[in-house]
């Protein structure tokens, strides 16, 4: 679906989650800009024949960079922390924990074939506070890490909204299944959005334009982290102490969607990231790779 927010700003929306696509923002001004490159079919049709001066990539996940190799933008910018996974298959597999947790190399290739991974060429960095002036429209980069180390949002001060990319307000809650993910960073990123109080949010997945109850939606999204935390602590209390045992309780996903092998890997890493956070917070003690509640 195509939503014109103003004469110069258009949202290309995919109203439900479907890999490898996402909601994107198009800016048509003295210069043109696209934020993320995986719009659904009608968005792809919309972009045909429109030259792209600046392609701003919110982060390195494939469902935000999927069409970058085809779009031939003059500049492709991404936060340096996410460039390795966007620029090489090895970097992607590394970030998704395959080298650490999946010994069978055939599965690495099968995963990359299934997601149709293609590396992209990043031509420059995005960083906190960077301002892009397209002529009339201005965009400020907000480094909002946690979902990935280089995850960025984009603030449109004049129009008073933030494109929050994968801080997407989904009922599932934040996803942190990469080795560079961080719960502390995620919580801080969500607090930043709450403190900014934007008039509305454009999210990277699902319903794109969120105007109703933005603070309540952000808090509900954040609170899914605490609900998972409670389930992890319950699981340890019931006598599960290794990462493997805890992940088998599915405190994050509760029910694995297909393909279950892949989502079990995400479950593992998200539980690992969460346990690291709980150890830092002294809510959990780790001894010889076993997790306990403090005495
Ligand atoms: Zn993502």
Instruction: Identify the structural domains of the chain with CATH numbers, from first to last.
Output: 2-211 (3.60.15.10), 224-292 (no CATH)
Share of the chain above pLDDT 90, in %: 92
Beta bridge pairs of residue 4: 10
Cα(1) to centroid of ligand 1, in Å?
A: 21
- Residue 287's Cβ-count burial label (10 Å; 0-12, 13-18, 19+) is exposed
The CA 21 to ligand 1 mean position distance, Å, reads: 11
Give the model confidence (pLDDT) of 15-52 as tens digits: 888 889 999 999 999 999 999 999 998 999 999 999 99
Q: 65 alpha carbon to ligand 1 midpoint, in Å?
A: 10
Contact 126, 77 (CB under 8 A): yes
What separation in Å is there between the alpha carbon of 260 and the centre of ligand 1?
19
pTM of the predicted model, to two decimals? 0.96
Cα–Cα dist 34/43, whole Å = 11
Nearest to 251 by CA among 267, 266, 239, 238: 267
Fill in the DSSP letter of residue 159: T
Distance 285 CA to ligand 1 centre (A): 30
145, two tokens: 């890490």
Structure tokens at 219: 């808090």
DSSP state of 271: H
d(CA 110, CA 92): 13
pLDDT class of 10 with cuts at 50, 70, 90:
very high
Cα(205) to centroid(ligand 1), Å: 10
Cα of 121 vs its chain's centroid, Å: 19
Specify the 3-state DSSP secondary structure of 167. Answer: coil
Q: State the pLDDT confidence band at 223, using cuts at 50, 70 and 90.
A: very high
Residue whose tokens read 């392609």: 55
The token duo for 276 is: 């690291």
**Separation of 83 CA from ligand 1 center, angstroms?**
13
How many A from CA of 147 to the centre of ligand 1? 6
The answer on pLDDT for 232 being more than 90 is yes
Average pLDDT of the segment spanning 188-198: 98
Q: Which residues contact 59 (CB under 8 A, 6 or more apart)?
A: 78, 79, 82, 147, 148, 150, 151, 152, 165, 166
Q: State the distance from the centre of ligand 1 to the C-alpha of 238, rounded, in angstroms.
A: 33
What's the CA-to-centroid distance between 59 and ligand 1, angstroms? 7
Average pLDDT over residues 264-275: 96
Q: What pLDDT is attached to residue 16?
A: 82
Output the CA 117–ligand 1 centroid distance in Å.
14
Whether the pLDDT of residue 92 is over 90: the answer is yes
pLDDT given at position 15: 81
* pLDDT above 90: residue 217: yes
User: Which pLDDT belongs to residue 295?
Assistant: 86
- Summarize the confidence of residues 254-262 as an average pLDDT: 93
Which residue from 219, 194, 193, 221 is spatially nearest to 205, judged by alpha carbons?
A: 221
**Mean pLDDT, rounded, for 144-171:** 97
Residue of 108, 113, 68, 106 lying closest to 86 (CA atoms): 68
């Amino acid at each position: 679906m195509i939503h014109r927010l103003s004469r110069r700003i258009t949202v290309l929306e995919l109203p439900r989650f479907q890999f490898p696509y996402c909601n994107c923002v198009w800016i048509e001004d003295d210069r043109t800009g696209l934020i993320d490159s995986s719009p659904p079919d009608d968005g792809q049709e919309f972009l045909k024949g429109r030259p792209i001066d600046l392609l701003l990539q919110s982060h390195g996940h494939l469902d935000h960079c999927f069409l970058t190799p085809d779009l031939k933008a003059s500049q492709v910018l991404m936060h340096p922390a996410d460039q390795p996974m966007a620029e090489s298959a090895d970097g992607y597999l590394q970030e998704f924990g395959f080298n650490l947790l999946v010994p069978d190399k055939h599965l690495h290739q099968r995963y990359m074939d299934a997601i149709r991974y293609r590396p992209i060429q990043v031509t420059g960095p995005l960083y906190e506070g960077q301002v892009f002036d397209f002529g009339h429209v201005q965009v400020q980069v907000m480094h909002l890490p946690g979902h990935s180390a280089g995850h960025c949002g984009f603030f449109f001060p004049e129009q008073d909204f933030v494109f929050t990319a994968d801080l997407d307000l989904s009922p599932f809650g934040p996803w942190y299944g990469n080795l560079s993910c961080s719960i502390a960073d995620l919580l801080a990123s969500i607090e930043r959005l709450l403190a900014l109080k934007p008039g509305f949010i454009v999210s990277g997945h699902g319903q794109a334009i969120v105007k109703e109850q933005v603070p309540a939606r952000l808090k509900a999204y954040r609170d899914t982290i605490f609900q998972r935390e409670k389930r992890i602590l319950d699981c340890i209390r019931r006598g599960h102490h290794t990462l493997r045992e805890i992940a088998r309780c599915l405190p994050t996903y509760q029910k694995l969607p297909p393909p279950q092998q892949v989502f079990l890997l995400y479950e593992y890493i998200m539980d690992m990231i969460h346990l690291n956070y709980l150890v830092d917070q002294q809510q959990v003690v780790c001894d010889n790779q076993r997790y306990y509640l403090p005495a």
